[in-house]
A and B are shown apart, each in its own frame.
Chain A
Amino acid sequence: MGDLKEKIMEELNCETVFTIHFGSFDIPIAESTVITWVIMVILLALCIFLTRGLKVKNVSRRQLVAESIVGWLEKFVIGMTGEEGKAFVPYLCSVLLYIGFANLIGLCGVKPPTKDLNVTAALAVMSIVLVQYAGIHKKGFKGWLKSFTQPMAIVTPINILELFIKPLSLCMRLFGNVLGAFVIMELLKSLIPVVLPVPFSFYFDIFDGLIQAYVFVFLTSLYIKEAVEE
């Protein structure tokens, strides 16, 4: 039993792959960062491969795939943000692709980077910065400040609190989902390593991972809409 505990704790830990010694500073590079680099390389290769030799006529199958992916992503994200949020489509698409890949990469046996609180916190912080930026961009700085007192002056503390609750909720939702799925999968794998984890892996790694990516992007676009509309 103690053995299992040790193993799970080890799996749960986000290891520091290597440390850069920068003068007197030690900069630890976590596993999640390295895996993010791998995902970046995959995305870069995919993008270059798909968009190589684009033609107007006589399109190749590769170009068709690229065009349908872009069209689908755009339609998908615009369906959530509406017409006002068109400027944020590329960012939301990249977040969607990143979280999707990050959650699916768990299938390859590595730890998904979204299991690291750093990654989800970074995602949530970026989302909330984007939401506030959208609000400032739309309403101007004064209008943005004024929007905190809406609909009544008395709710201002709650609105300011919301500024922290929103990213925290985004962060913890993604982190908790991936972590929970990971723990359950590890338990199942340590119990029966063959056959049994397969259907659960389908649910926890593929379905849940993609749903969480969708929910993250959906909530971000919802917040953007809210910030832009008022």
Chain B
Amino acid sequence: MLRIDINLLFTVINLIIIYVIIRKLLFKPVKKIIAQREAEINKQYEDAKATQDNADALKVQYEQALSGAQEEKAAVISEARVKAGAEYDRIVADAKTAADKLMDDARKEAVKEQEKTIKQAKDQIEELVVAATAKVVASGQGEAADRELYNQFLTKTGENK
């Protein structure tokens, strides 16, 4: 029990062998595999990050394209609106000129008609005057008859008017 001899040396040698066994056969392979796995996981993370970046870039591109389309749409709409406004203005102007012309024509027509009527009335009056003069000349009856005639004429013309 209490002896110290050559077995101490044996134990030291055994311990060193145990150390080598543990180090070479347990720690080294397990650590190696853990390091490998870590490297792989890191690689996967990097891959995932690259993919994510790619997707982000694509998204930005897509959004840009989308906003471009929107701008284009707005431009088209505003252009169309301008065009439509111009067209509207033109149509309205056309209609106005047409209406003006129509009005003008109508006015002219009316004036003409009026003139015509006046002329007719004048002619009639002339005729009447002529007739009355003729009558007066023909009858030659006094003042009473003249008055009568005059009144007659007045009434006639008044009715005419």
Q: Are A126 and B34 in contact (CB under 8 A)?
A: no
Among B1-41, those with CB < 8 Å from A are: 1-12, 14-15, 17-19, 21-23, 25-27, 29-34, 36-37, 40
Known: A56-B36, A98-B18. A50 touches B1 (CB 8 A): no
Q: How far is the CA of A95 from the CA of B32 in the complex (A)?
A: 22
Known: A51-B25, A54-B29. A33 touches B17 (CB 8 A): no
Contacting residue for B22 out of A30, A36, A90, CB 8 A? A90
Q: Are A47 and B25 in contact (CB under 8 A)?
A: yes
Binary flags per residue of A43-61, CB closer than 8 Å to B gives 1, else 0: 1100110110011110000
Q: Are B12 and A51 in contact (CB under 8 A)?
A: no
Identify the interface centre among A28, A117, A179: most chain B CB within 10 Å of its CB: A117
Q: Are B30 and A32 in contact (CB under 8 A)?
A: no
Binary flags per residue of B108-142, CB closer than 8 Å to A gives 1, else 0: 00000000000000000000000000000000000
Known: A51-B30, A55-B33. A33 touches B21 (CB 8 A): no
Q: Are A179 and B25 in contact (CB under 8 A)?
A: no
Q: How far is the CA of A50 from the CA of B29 in the complex (A)?
A: 10
For B37, the chain A residues whose CB sits under 8 A away are 56-57
The reply on A196 being an interface residue by CB < 8 A is no
The reply on A222 being an interface residue by CB < 8 A is no
The reply on A145 being an interface residue by CB < 8 A is no
Q: Are A121 and B1 in contact (CB under 8 A)?
A: no
Q: Are A56 and B17 in contact (CB under 8 A)?
A: no
The reply on A4 being an interface residue by CB < 8 A is no
Known: A56-B37, A98-B15. A47 touches B7 (CB 8 A): no
For A126, the chain B residues whose CB sits under 8 A away are 12, 15
Number of residues from A at the complex interface, CB < 8 A: 47
Q: Are A66 and B30 in contact (CB under 8 A)?
A: yes
Q: Are A94 and B23 in contact (CB under 8 A)?
A: yes
Chain A minimum-CB-distance residue to B17: A40
Q: Are A37 and B14 in contact (CB under 8 A)?
A: yes
For B31, the chain A residues whose CB sits under 8 A away are 70
Among B27-69, those with CB < 8 Å from A are: 27, 29-34, 36-37, 40
Q: Are B7 and A116 in contact (CB under 8 A)?
A: yes
- B132 smallest CB distance to A (angstroms): 136
Q: How far is the CA of A44 from the CA of B31 in the complex (A)?
A: 17
Q: How far is the CA of A216 from the CA of B8 in the complex (A)?
A: 18
Q: Are B25 and A117 in contact (CB under 8 A)?
A: no
Binary flags per residue of B63-86, CB closer than 8 Å to A gives 1, else 0: 000000000000000000000000
For B33, the chain A residues whose CB sits under 8 A away are 54-56, 63, 67
Q: How far is the CA of A101 from the CA of B34 in the complex (A)?
A: 26
Known: A32-B7, A47-B22, A67-B34. A117 touches B1 (CB 8 A): yes
Known: A29-B10, A47-B22. A90 touches B40 (CB 8 A): no
Known: A117-B4, A122-B15. A33 touches B10 (CB 8 A): yes
Known: A28-B6, A66-B26. A119 touches B21 (CB 8 A): no
Q: How far is the CA of A95 from the CA of B19 in the complex (A)?
A: 8
Q: Are B11 and A94 in contact (CB under 8 A)?
A: no
Contacting residue for A179 out of B1, B3, B8, CB 8 A? B1
Residue ranges of A at the interface with B (Cβ–Cβ < 8 Å): 12-14, 27-30, 32-33, 36-37, 39-40, 43-44, 47-48, 50-51, 54-57, 63, 66-67, 69-70, 90-91, 93-95, 97-98, 113, 115-119, 121-123, 125-126, 179
What are 6 sample pairs from A and B whose C-beta atoms fall under 8 A apart?
A: A13-B1, A27-B6, A30-B10, A33-B11, A119-B7, A179-B1
